[in-house]
Amino acid sequence: MTFPQDPAPSDPWSVPITPLPPTPDAFATPGPVIVQIGDMGVTSTVVHTPAGDIPLAGSTWTVNDYWHSESRIPKWAIAAAIVGFCVLTVFSLLFLLVKVTVQHGTVQVTVTNGTRQYVARIPVTDQSQVTYVHQQVNYVRSLAAL
């Protein structure tokens, strides 16, 4: 069925689409980003994620730490053992007994609101970074409870 004001499309698969008028809420801006947690930006009303926006009010936040420690031989000890092998064979091998403990891991922050959920994994290298992420999430929890 064609109407007199609509021209007949030349391609049978192309249909003219008339856009809907914008709603007043479409132009409302949620405000500046208050807290940045990983790749999530939190404003006073919305959590901006790469997967879309999640309302802040009524959201649930969880934090999980995934740490592991490694004992490694530092590079300077390996270099000293190789160089020292030419001078003092037996004593230079003692450099290989030097160990350094390296801690690294991720902090996983999950925000859930209704059926929407997003997980951010933030790489950390020391305990102060973990504490900082926990403080940020606690602050956002207080904003979500308002």
What confidence category does residue 134 fall into, taking pLDDT thresholds of 50, 70 and 90?
very high
pLDDT score of 28 more than 60: no
pLDDT in tens, 31-81: 788 888 888 888 888 888 888 888 888 889 999 988 888 899 899 888 888
CB burial readout 116-134, b (16+ within 10 A) else e: eebebebebeeeeebeebe
pTM score over 0.85: no
- Are the beta carbons of 143 and 56 closer than 8 angstroms? yes
Structure tokens at 92: 């230079």
